[in-house]
Chain A
């Protein structure tokens, strides 16, 4: 049967999936909502269907049936980590291929407590703390005392604890406790908050890591039990609401001195990530996110069971038998049951790659997102530069307000860190984004913020 992919996403990721499909000679269909009708992915696609919402499973499946698609690529965001969607795609009467890992893997890894328990059982380091939700404050105090003593005995003096809702996400409702005396009132406050916002009163208590770096491992598994990694990425530079803004691959600075053996740490987090992937028969692209402390301790934080925004910086420095890799193409090939055709020893890493996320936001006012119209978006093409954007360059483009105001990704390559950094600044000084807000004011972007933050790459940040 002829394969045909429904691209269930928008923006630059839709464009990258389209490109991958073209390269592989596979037909594709795109969907879009009314607000996105001027977007580039709609303009460039031959077959397109208007739907009510990118999150509407019924609409996606109705279009998939109508145009006889055989597979769905969810991209990132929207339904990409929704295991119920993945399950429905493969289990329905007219089943389709879900381009991603199995729905069971999405379900298990998407549950933070389950992941923590599983990791602990496999001997994988996780942030010290509770692995069961706590519902009453006497128990909470006991657990907190236990954790406090435990951290003290590890030589961490006066550790801070974090009180988090089990059901939360994106940093919502997290409170810090510096003194055990504060624990009960804080617990009550967060429990009430959790009930109000998430309908679940469960609370977890964790050690606060005061200084850290955010390093992630890119894993790829196939349906034939093959597993490889594409090294690490450092995603420490984020916005206030913990959204990544600058990423760099590799995840450690090979030219700098660490107080610990960073090569050993990198190898360990890769090995632990692979261990968990193998345990769950993980069979697509996935990202294992780790926290690294200045002492060289590392903790598994979460697993993203989808393609990442920043996947391309890994691809840019990874060469399989001397050919650059494309992770989206690999995702599609694997989902259709193909073998990898190479093993870890065939993968060589060369150079450094940085991704800059250009966003219409006011970084001086709490990263307030801005809508508006882009009238000019120009940059000088370079051999070391790839710009991923859904913003058309030939006509004004109005940023839809329902989605994140991401404008473009700039992917920069260099032979080493210093070169990649220099070229990143060259790009940031060259790129022009002009536009106006609905009120007629000048549109602000985060370019100045990126210029400033580029000097903080590979540094530990306070949390």
Chain B
């Protein structure tokens, strides 16, 4: 196990001191910013609902080729560094328009801490990833924390430079898939975490850590 129980306190303290993550909001494409729907300090909501089917709060309107598009928040938080000077200006793609200061939830803290506790497959390249069909169907049936993998199993498929490359599990021992960090078909930057695995014998211990975080976090 990579996390000693004693170290957990330190890690938790760090998160307690700054329980936020900053998400920049960029333009998806070029166009004119026609209207800001928010102002500095507003609280915006990300997509919500059972399947995240309800869209996030509107942030601004981007117009291109006479089509107006409302750009919405992908995560909840407080609006900061809003660049109001860009109103009615032409902007390039991927231009940062504002930042959302997102308060981390209990679940997100767990996910962050699990990063250092689990065996992680990271993205070997900036590419798009999907679960291998066998793993995907097993996960659907059995759920996280149950699907066993062994060395040599095909776990993921990487779509990269117009080719599909399988990614195999390379650790000896009995592991289960514990956490998914990626969304299929989304472009994932190199070295970003994709999947977290836990050794079977460590499962109870990991559960204990999570219990501890839950306890600590609900207290704060």
Report the count of interface residues on A (CB-CB < 8 A): 24
* Chain B residues with CB under 8 A of A58: 29, 64-65, 67
Q: Is there contact, CB below 8 Å, between A369 and B92?
A: no
* Chain B residues with CB under 8 A of A123: none
B86 to chain A, nearest CB (A): 14
A49 located at the interface, meaning its Cβ lies under 8 Å from any Cβ of chain B in the complex: yes
* Chain A residues with CB under 8 A of B94: 34, 50, 52
B154 located at the interface, meaning its Cβ lies under 8 Å from any Cβ of chain A in the complex: no
Task: Report the Cα distance A295→B28, complex, angstroms.
Answer: 56
Which 7 pairs of residues, A with B, have the shortest CB-CB distance? A50-B92, A52-B93, A369-B161, A52-B29, A62-B64, A62-B30, A58-B65
Contact of B90 among A66, A368, A405 (CB under 8 A): A66
Task: Report the Cα distance A218→B93, complex, angstroms.
Answer: 37
Q: Is there contact, CB below 8 Å, between B163 and A369?
A: yes
Secondary structure of the B contact surface, majority rule:
loop
A438 located at the interface, meaning its Cβ lies under 8 Å from any Cβ of chain B in the complex: yes
24 contacts between A and B (CB under 8 A): A49-B30, A49-B92, A50-B30, A50-B92, A51-B29, A52-B28, A52-B29, A52-B30, A56-B29, A58-B29, A58-B64, A62-B64, A369-B161, A369-B162, A369-B163, A371-B125, A371-B161, A401-B127, A401-B161, A402-B126, A404-B161, A438-B124, A438-B125, A438-B190
B139 to chain A, nearest CB (A): 23
A52-B29, A404-B162, A438-B190 known; A59+B127 contact, CB < 8 A: no
Task: Report the Cα distance A279→B200, complex, angstroms.
Answer: 71
- Chain B 153-189 against A: per-residue CB contact (8 Å), 1 yes, 0 no? 0000000111100000000000000000000000000
Chain B interface residues toward A at CB < 8 A: 28-31, 64-65, 67, 90, 92-95, 124-127, 160-163, 190
Q: Is there contact, CB below 8 Å, between A51 and B92?
A: yes
A379 located at the interface, meaning its Cβ lies under 8 Å from any Cβ of chain B in the complex: no
A260 located at the interface, meaning its Cβ lies under 8 Å from any Cβ of chain B in the complex: no
Task: Report the Cα distance A215→B190, complex, angstroms.
Answer: 41
Chain A interface residues toward B at CB < 8 A: 33-35, 49-52, 56, 58-59, 61-63, 66, 368-369, 371, 401-405, 438-439
User: Closest residue to B95 on the A side, CB-wise?
Assistant: A50
* Chain B residues with CB under 8 A of A61: 65
Q: Is there contact, CB below 8 Å, between A50 and B93?
A: yes
Q: Is there contact, CB below 8 Å, between B92 and A403?
A: no
Task: Report the Cα distance A34→B24, complex, angstroms.
Answer: 15
Q: Is there contact, CB below 8 Å, between A401 and B93?
A: no
* Chain B residues with CB under 8 A of A52: 28-30, 93-94
Contact of A401 among B29, B64, B160 (CB under 8 A): B160
Q: Is there contact, CB below 8 Å, between A59 and B30?
A: yes
User: Closest residue to A49 on the B side, CB-wise?
Assistant: B92
Beyond A369-B160, A438-B125, 18 additional pairs, beta carbon < 8 A:
A34-B94, A49-B30, A50-B93, A52-B30, A52-B94, A58-B67, A59-B29, A59-B64, A59-B93, A66-B30, A368-B163, A369-B163, A371-B125, A401-B160, A402-B126, A402-B161, A404-B161, A439-B124
* Chain A residues with CB under 8 A of B126: 35, 401-402
Q: Is there contact, CB below 8 Å, between B161 and A51?
A: no
* Chain B residues with CB under 8 A of A403: 161
